[in-house]
Amino acid sequence: MYSELGQVYLAQRVFDKMPQRDQISWNSLITGYLRVGEIELAHGLFNEIPERDLVSCNAMIDGYGKSGKCELAEEVFRTMHHKDVVTWTSMISGYVCNHHPKEALGLFREMLNQGIRPDAPALVSVLSAIADLGFVEEGKWVHTYISTNKIKLSSGFIASALIDMYAKCHEALEVFLDMSRKEIKPDEITFLGLLSACNHGGLVIRFSALARHSNVAIGEVLPKAINLAPEDSSCYILLSNLYAKVGRWDDVGKVRLMMNQRGVQKIPGSSSVLVNGTVHEFLVGKEMNVKHSVERKAKKKLTYSLLSEKMALAFGLINRSKGAPIHIVKNLRICHDCHSFIKLVSGVYNCRIVVRDQNRFHQFENGSCSCKDFW
């Protein structure tokens, strides 16, 4: 009970006082630690457990993968004698989260060879891996598998993953039209996925024309999409950007008004960088402590022109050890400008820069990024 409520330290006290501990009590405490992000404590408990069963192993694979410890997840996976669909899915997802798309795709093929039917999360993960690789033929193979096995796209998540994959391979709009021809009605989640992809690829105007041609009422569907997460400012921003790109400025104003009426505020960007064992956080619009004296006017201009990831990067460059990589964590999706800037810095300073944003890991090196400029 305490673990499910997030009171994991109270759960630990109860656990310590138990004269006898069964498998359920061990698994519950491990899962509780993982739920609150205490990966090291979960790791220690996992090493002490008398018998590792399917539940504890699956939980640790998932936890290791989400915390960037993909090697430990792989170690647990390879030592398991019995694996279920959750085991395979967790490992595939771990590879994707840590930007090992080739390994994720290879494991998916191995999963099918073992006769394991993939669930929706496995399909979404492998489509994400294929999108990272840009292997459109592999994507079509997975799409064929989905169709052959009559896996419904109406769930929304698989359809959105397919569209995202095809978008990164520059074929998203064709998939959208194919869905329309097959009379598969796109839901709000699918629309958000397609819009996000088209917004990134500069295809919003073409999408709008195709949507009208397909008798899809964007003005009706997108507000419904916002209601999927009415407190999430990113949905409003996406819709506002869409309207702005097609010149519907009245609708831009309506979206902004809706945000104000609902009390939704845009989340301020923040970035954290690890330097010499200490985490330093930078907020957009906040001044950096600079050593050089500058005029007040110039300082003000500097403050408002720098985004949080640029400030974190500058601090990391100034204070890093020679040859050491720079690790930055950002709470929002990295913007195009900062992404291009960090690519440039990685090439000029010949350093490896790892950025974890809201969507994925970005590994910058030698002037390029592991995401291939699509995230």
pLDDT at 304: 40
- Residues composing the chain: 375
* Strand spans (E) along 216-318: 270-275, 278-283
The closest of 301, 314, 315, 322 to 341, measured between CA atoms, is 314
- Burial environment of residue 318 by CB neighbours within 10 A (0 to 12, 13 to 18, 19 or more): exposed
Is residue 176's pLDDT more than 80? Answer: no
Average pLDDT over residues 228-235: 69
Does residue 119 carry a pLDDT above 60? Answer: yes
Instruction: Indicate the DSSP class of residue 291.
Output: S
Percent of the chain with pLDDT over 90: 23
- Match 């407190």 to its residue by tokens: 231
Per the CB < 8 A criterion, the answer to whether 6 and 36 are in contact is yes
- Asked if residue 175 has pLDDT above 70, the reply is no
Tell me the pLDDT of the chain averaged across its residues. 77
E runs forming strands in the chain: 270-275, 278-283, 326-330, 353-356, 361-365, 368-369
Q: Stretch 314-331: mean pLDDT, rounded? A: 87
Q: What is the pLDDT of residue 343?
A: 93
Ramachandran assignment for 141, one of left (phi > 0), alpha (psi -120 to 50 degrees), beta (any other): alpha
* CA 48 to each of CA 16, 27, 168: distance values in angstroms, whole numbers, following the listed order: 13, 12, 44
Phi, psi of 274 (to 5 degrees): -95, 120
Tell me: the pLDDT tens digits for 232-280? 776 777 777 777 766 778 888 888 888 888 888 877 788 888 887 788 8
Q: Is the dihedral of CA 30, 33, 36, 40 positive or negative?
A: negative
* DSSP type of residue 154: G
- Is the model more confident about 287 or about 49? 49
Greatest mean pLDDT among 102-106, 176-180, 283-287: 102-106
Beta pairing class for 361-365 and 278-283:
unpaired
Judging by DSSP bridges, how do beta strands 361-365 and 353-356 pair with one another?
antiparallel
pLDDT for 288 equals: 52
CA–CA dist 8, 69 (Å, integer): 22
For range 114-128, the mean pLDDT: 92
Per-residue confidence (pLDDT) for residue 211, from 0 to 100: 47
pLDDT in tens, 350-373: 999 988 887 777 889 999 988 777
Structure tokens at 244: 């702005």
Contacts of 297 (CB under 8 A, 6+ apart): none
Paired tokens of 184: 């598969």
pLDDT in the model for residue 109: 95
C-alpha to C-alpha distance for 46 and 54, rounded to whole angstroms:
12
Q: CB-based contacts of 256: which residues, under 8 Å, 6+ apart? A: 240
Q: What is the pLDDT of residue 294?
A: 40
154 has a pLDDT exceeding 60: no
Query: With a threshold of 0.85, does the pTM exceed it?
Result: no
Mean pLDDT value across residues 70-82: 94
